[in-house]
């Protein structure tokens, strides 16, 4: 997980890693495709139904219709939303929309999943449910996830933490020790 105060450079770093922004100097090399889940899923869900939205990211892969359907089913099953495949996007909850955005990355077989504060607009119960589900998905599929958060309780679900300040990594390491350090520095 990636922590830092507002303006520390977290979102900029994620956009650079995802290829949304280009670096002003130097190079960033990341194996593609990269899955990027926005803070507000309404900014990235573009198709009218769940299944169509998950399939949308597969357009450039020149897959057969059968392969597209198989990947959509696989991805929706992975986020426990297969039964919503034909549901209109507008009829979903915020947590369901975030899981659909994640399913889009899974369908594309992304090995890196970048999540920009995906729990920010969710209620507390749905926040932890989403964090737990992403943790299970990345472990089961061997995916790397980089998750931006302001919620220290979400650190209980990660393997490592980067702490950003003024565009620089000021600390990194084990979640519980950095959580304790962050709490003591905030006091």
- Residue 127 sits in a domain of what CATH number? 3.40.50.300
Q: Do the bridges between strand 144-148 and strand 112-116 make them parallel or antiparallel, or are there none, so unpaired?
A: parallel
- Domain count within the chain: 1
Q: What are phi and psi of 45, to 5 degrees?
A: -85, 115
Q: What are phi and psi of 21, to 5 degrees?
A: -115, 150
Residuewise pLDDT in 10s, the chain (187 residues)? 998 888 899 988 998 998 889 999 999 988 888 999 988 899 999 999 999 999 999 999 999 999 999 999 999 999 999 999 999 999 999 989 999 999 999 999 999 999 998 888 888 888 888 888 889 999 998 999 999 988 888 888 899 999 999 989 999 999 888 888 777 776 5
Angle at 152 between CA 134 and CA 156, to 5 degrees: 50
Residue-range definition of the domain harbouring residue 141: 2-23+31-186
The two three-digit tokens of residue 179, written as one number:
């959580």
Among the listed residues 130, 154, 138, 151, the one whose alpha carbon sits nearest the alpha carbon of residue 106: 138
């Amino acid at each position: 997980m990636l922590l830092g105060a507002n303006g520390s450079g977290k979102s900029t770093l994620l956009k650079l890693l995802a290829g949304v922004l280009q670096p002003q100097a130097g190079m960033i090399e990341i194996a593609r495709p990269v899955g990027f889940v926005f803070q507000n899923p309404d900014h990235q869900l573009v198709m009218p139904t769940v299944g169509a939205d998950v399939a949308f990211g597969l357009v450039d892969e020149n897959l057969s219709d059968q392969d597209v359907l198989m990947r959509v089913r696989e991805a929706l099953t992975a986020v426990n939303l297969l039964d919503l495949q034909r549901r209109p996007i507008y009829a979903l909850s915020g947590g369901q929309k975030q899981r659909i955005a994640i399913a889009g990355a899974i369908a594309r077989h992304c090995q890196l999943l970048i999540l920009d504060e995906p729990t920010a607009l969710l209620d507390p119960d749905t926040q932890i449910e989403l964090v737990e589900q992403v943790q299970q998905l990345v472990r089961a599929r061997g995916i790397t996830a980089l998750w931006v958060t302001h919620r220290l309780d979400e650190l209980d679900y990660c393997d490592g933490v980067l702490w950003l300040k003024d565009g620089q990594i000021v600390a990194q390491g084990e979640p519980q020790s950095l959580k304790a350090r962050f709490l003591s520095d905030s006091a």
